[in-house]
Amino acid sequence: MTVDDRFTDSPFQKADPAELTRFEVMDGPVSDWATDFSHMDEQYAENAHEIWDDLRGRCPIAHTERFGGAWLPTRYEDVQAIAYDTEHFTSRAIIVGNYRPPLDLAPVGGVPPISSDPPFHHDARKLLLPAFTKANVAKQEVTTREFCHSLINAFEGRDLVDAATEYAMHIPIRVIADMLGFPTEDTPRFKVFVENALEGINRSPEEREASTEVLFTYLLEQVRDHIDNPRDDLTTYLINAELYGQKLAPQHVVGTMALLLIAGIDTTWSAIGASLWHLAKNPEDRKRLVEEPALRATAVEEFLRAYAPVTMARLVKEDVELGGVEMKKEDWVLLPFPAANRDPEKFERADEVVIDREVNRHAAFGLGIHRCAGSHLARMELRVALDVWLDRIPEFSLAEGAPMRWSTGQIRGPRMLPITIG
């Protein structure tokens, strides 16, 4: 037996400080959303829909000098054009921050395949797709349902719960821990990993790098444990996977594990939370879904359209004119799929939530080659989470006077969601 020595040293590579392009952190109040937007602002978290509608009417592509310069398209047409254009836009970095990673990180990127560009992207993605087909994720449905019931069992005797932190959050964390084969008792750490990766972007590069190193160290421990004790899960699969006739580079294995851990949690947590938030404040929709379980799958698509949690990002690869603006090489571009989903040019009654909307060509999971690889898993979790909640807790509403908070950054969803049961 040959020894797998790829993971003897940590695959975490500190970036050469000279190669990082750093920008001054600008976290003051936004003066004008069209010229100085910040997706890290609490106003953006709270009023994103109004801000996008306003910008769509007057820009429609907003700009900011923050983060070293970033664009924010708001029309479906522009978001789609950028998502499809891998010639002019690179995925080398997909979370906007105050520094840009070195150019030579492309085409693999730190967390393949979401951070990869063609043609490498296609091959790295192909490795992952079989695990995430609808048929394969259906195998997780029974345990997911049981887990949702166990969360609701824990509400016994209470009439006030936080649906964000006591329900929605735990579901994707448990599902991805099971798929990666990580110990259940480690799951409280995952929330911290996610916050560091996605919400801590205004911290210094050193701080961000330090938290990434903590994550990679954890993942490396898991890899080593799986090398010693192989099992039927995604971690063992990635350790053994081959690309171009060779085992994957250690950075690729651990980077993909980081992606699977981070990308599946905040996003699905947000979608479940936003759906429950909508139902808590719209009793007619809630009653209808309680009485008509057959309508729930359709309603889930509408919640995904109206409350799509994920905004992706790109860096401009070559200067390009798009939607009437001149984007320069290395500018950031946000891809707000939720704003595209509310474009009245594309959707009738775009600003309304119509739970029986039959034609719903929404882009919640992205468009083009980077379509969310976990979309079937996310849909399964969202459907099961709502199913179990509506069957067990048919009567609920937003707790009056209790604080509610939406997350800032590229993933938008409720982070505090106090709900009164009954």
Partner 1 sequence: MKVQIDAQLCQGHGRCYDLAPDLFGEDDEGYATLTALTADGIVPEGREGDIRLAAANCPESAVLVLEEALNDRR
Residues forming the site for partner 1 (CB under 8 A):
126, 129-130, 132-135, 297, 301, 358-363, 365, 367-369, 371, 375-376, 379
> Counting every residue, how long is the chain?
422
Tell which phi-psi region holds residue 97, choosing left (phi > 0), alpha (psi between -120 and 50) or beta.
Answer: beta
Comparing CB distances to partner 1, the nearer of 232 and 358 is 358
Q: Is 254 helix (H, G, I), strand (E, B) or coil?
A: helix
Minimum distance between the CB of residue 287 and partner 1, rounded to whole angstroms?
Answer: 25
Q: Output 281 or 371, the one with its CB closest to partner 1.
A: 371
Q: Rounded to the nearest whole angstrom, what is the least distance from the CB of residue 371 to partner 1 in the complex?
A: 4
Of residues 341 and 408, the one with the C-beta less far from partner 1: 341
Is the CB of 102 or the CB of 368 nearer to partner 1? 368
d(CA 24, CA 66): 8
Residue 223: closest CA among 197, 242, 198, 251: 251
Q: Which of 122, 328 has the CB closer to partner 1?
A: 122
Task: State the nearest-atom distance from the C-beta of 114 to partner 1, in Å.
Answer: 14
Nearest of 277, 239, 253 to residue 163 by alpha carbon: 277
The nearer residue to partner 1, 192 or 297, going by C-beta atoms, is 297
Q: CA nearest 60: which of 41, 88, 85, 34? A: 34
Sequence-ordered list of residues with C-beta below 8 angstroms from that of 374, at least 6 positions apart, any chain: 132, 260, 263, 264, 267
Which helix (H) or strand (E) segment is 148 a member of? helix 141-153
Q: Toward partner 1, which CB reaches closer, 160 or 297?
A: 297
- The token pair at 2 is 């040959």
For partner 1, the closer CB: 365 or 406:
365
**Residue 60: how many CA atoms within 13 Å on its side-chain side?**
19
Instruction: Compute the CA torsion angle 267, 273, 279, 282 (nearest 10 deg).
Output: -90
Residues 6+ apart with CB under 8 A from 29: 41
The helix (run of H) or strand (run of E) holding residue 89 is strand 89-90
